[in-house]
Structure 1
């Protein structure tokens, strides 16, 4: 836990899940810059405040008195926000929504729009399109991000969707974005979700179509690691319980379902956009009789212990812009707990990440199934308990 000094008092904030050894904070200079700007230039009281992309709830927690709506694609980010709000007794003051919620039921009016620029500009584009009908001429729009996150393309998105946009001077390597809404701009539909056909030579999903909502990893193409895993998926028959862990657009779990229609597949990811993509990909490709579940969650937490036969995983190694193996470690540990004795975890990752070391430590075994100069597919088996 780290203390964040805001213009309205100090806050003790954590990421989620909170890890005592983790040195990454739940806020950065961009969050601080935005809050200090609002303190010096207070918006009119009342009205509807919407906070986009608030990574760990620093903005929503600091502004809880305004009763904002926080829109986040991250389940972990929402859990962090809940924990941080609970710490100040303000859990009921912030409404937490996902991009899927705002797509289905966009707010009628937005009076203050605060945007923490996401790493993925496609997600920003999709969210601005969803909210633009609710933005009016008097809406105050302020974005924030580190200088490495705000590019000409970022400003162009605000300009094209909302109105004229300028940036501030940099302070502690952070900038603000100021946008003046222009209600007369033509309202054009956003390009998301995006669908594309997969290449040949990748097993059961060859030539099939996948669906990608904005913000999903490699939303416009099949990444090389997943391609390697798809080409070497285990051949199984019968009523397997399969988990596509960190499912992204669901191509891996759907491949398992297409190859074995008797399987029962759980697609899970911490991204709401990913799980929505996975469901669309599965519905378009799998046999109607194949059972599937779709779960937004923290890794495989919530999956009954000892219930899975096979877990398929392509873990991320970034937390926003920070390189971290914390997600992979949590995925491996929760996957092991979810597997039956004899159940298998198949992982694809960059060779340099050394996942085999951690898997051997956790499972007591690990073998290389396939590799190329950049990626490796690993298999670990949960051994039956001794005695």
Structure 2
């Protein structure tokens, strides 16, 4: 992994967290970060002390670069927060965290949009992959910014779409773009009082209903950054049809999203203990809302954990105590296609499972996860499959 970020006679050592699992071709910054930094320097735009906001800084490159200005920093990603902390430490910036594990000095990191300050002088936005997340962020920002707030966004050319520009104009004000450089582009948005004062309710969280495998009708709330937010994804649908959970089992819904697999476990086994794990805070909020809405009596036997794979559980609880891990693993991180997340999920799952416990995985057939699972567990069984997906079961021996 390339870790040496050099720009404007300044050099930083930047990693993607966790560094040991990253491919050598990846790095913690992109050309959109470079354009933002160069633009502020060229136009003498000062990141006012304690009065700026940075949104969606994937691996903490902007937060580390501008750390001396004590910016407020928001990300929905636990991995982004861990990357920010690691990069501040790597560059001797005396990083400090509060009890939640989020950095509070020199950068003030938050995981909830409501915690962002009012009347910022400058807001920097990296365009996220999920447009619903951008829309929710703009809805919150418009309640906090003024006509005098300077807003600069950036992204790869392919991510600066007409839809993105329309959202900025709808919620904030007139929007223009720079010429493309280094395959990225800047966006400049001028807050307009008339636009900011227009009442625009948030469409999030969305809500829909889904039958559990037992036939129980579930109400599902989905915050803006949840995978397959509008409907049940095909892989999860297949998994519901072939799950088996019994009372008193300890179950992990790994990469839980809105929590549908864990909810189905509770529908099948009301006395099961379910741990919902995701690196997205909005996913965990959705899962928590859905347990409260559908299994209020089971809230005490559920926990919701922000983590890179199962790292947090391993640090806090030790090993070999769970009966089942249910997993629908991602095969990308931000815009990079990668299998390192799935590989770490499988390794972590083997560690937390008791002897005889099972990792149950649903995945696209073409990813050939059975090879990895056989190598790690010594054997793997196909529980079900269709033309696109396969459900694999690996037992810890």
8 Å contact from structure 2 (residues 49, 70) kept in 1: no
Q: Aligned partners of 2:215, 2:118: CA distance in 1, in Å? A: 41
Q: Aligned partners of 2:9, 2:66: CA distance in 1, in Å? A: 9
Q: Name the count of aligned residue pairs.
A: 377
**1:48–1:204 CA distance, 2 compared to 1 (3 A):** farther
Q: Which residue of 2 aligns with 1:321?
A: 335
In the TM superposition, residue 7 of structure 1 has moved relative to its aligned partner by: 2.5
Is 2:138 the counterpart of 1:128? yes
Q: Aligned partners of 1:287, 1:131: CA distance in 2, in Å? A: 33
Q: Please, which of 264, 278, 283 is the counterpart of residue 292 of structure 2?
A: 283
Q: Aligned partners of 2:215, 2:276: CA distance in 1, in Å? A: 16
For structure 1, list consecutive stretches of 5 or more residues without a partner in the other structure: none
In the TM superposition, residue 287 of structure 1 has moved relative to its aligned partner by: 5.3
In the TM superposition, residue 6 of structure 1 has moved relative to its aligned partner by: 2.5
Q: Aligned partners of 2:143, 2:345: CA distance in 1, in Å? A: 39
In the TM superposition, residue 204 of structure 1 has moved relative to its aligned partner by: 3.1
In the TM superposition, residue 147 of structure 1 has moved relative to its aligned partner by: 0.5
**What TM-score results when the alignment is normalised by the length of structure 1?**
0.94
In the TM superposition, residue 187 of structure 1 has moved relative to its aligned partner by: 3.5
In the TM superposition, residue 207 of structure 1 has moved relative to its aligned partner by: 3.4
Q: Please, which of 105, 109, 113 is the counterpart of residue 102 of structure 1?
A: 113
RMSD of aligned alpha carbons: 1.4
Q: Please, which of 176, 180, 197 is the counterpart of residue 209 of structure 2?
A: 197
Q: Which runs of 4+ in 1 moved over 6 A?
A: none
8 Å contact from structure 1 (residues 226, 314) kept in 2: yes
In the TM superposition, residue 360 of structure 1 has moved relative to its aligned partner by: 0.5
1:360-371 alignment runs, 5 A limit: 360-371=374-385
For structure 2, list consecutive stretches of 5 or more residues without a partner in the other structure: 96-104
1:9-20 alignment runs, 5 A limit: 9-19=10-20
In the TM superposition, residue 21 of structure 1 has moved relative to its aligned partner by: 4.4
SS state of the match for residue 380, structure 1?
strand
Residues 30-63 of structure 1 deviation map (CA, whole Å, 9 limit, x = unaligned)? 1111110111112244461100000000111111
Is 2:39 the counterpart of 1:25? no
SS state of the match for residue 311, structure 1?
strand
In the TM superposition, residue 206 of structure 1 has moved relative to its aligned partner by: 5.3
Residues 10-30 of structure 1 deviation map (CA, whole Å, 9 limit, x = unaligned)? 111000000264321001111
SS state of the match for residue 274, structure 2?
strand
SS state of the match for residue 284, structure 1?
helix
Q: Please, which of 241, 254, 260 is the counterpart of residue 263 of structure 2?
A: 254
Is 2:8 the counterpart of 1:4? no
In the TM superposition, residue 238 of structure 1 has moved relative to its aligned partner by: 2.6
Most deviating of 60-69 and 87-96:
87-96
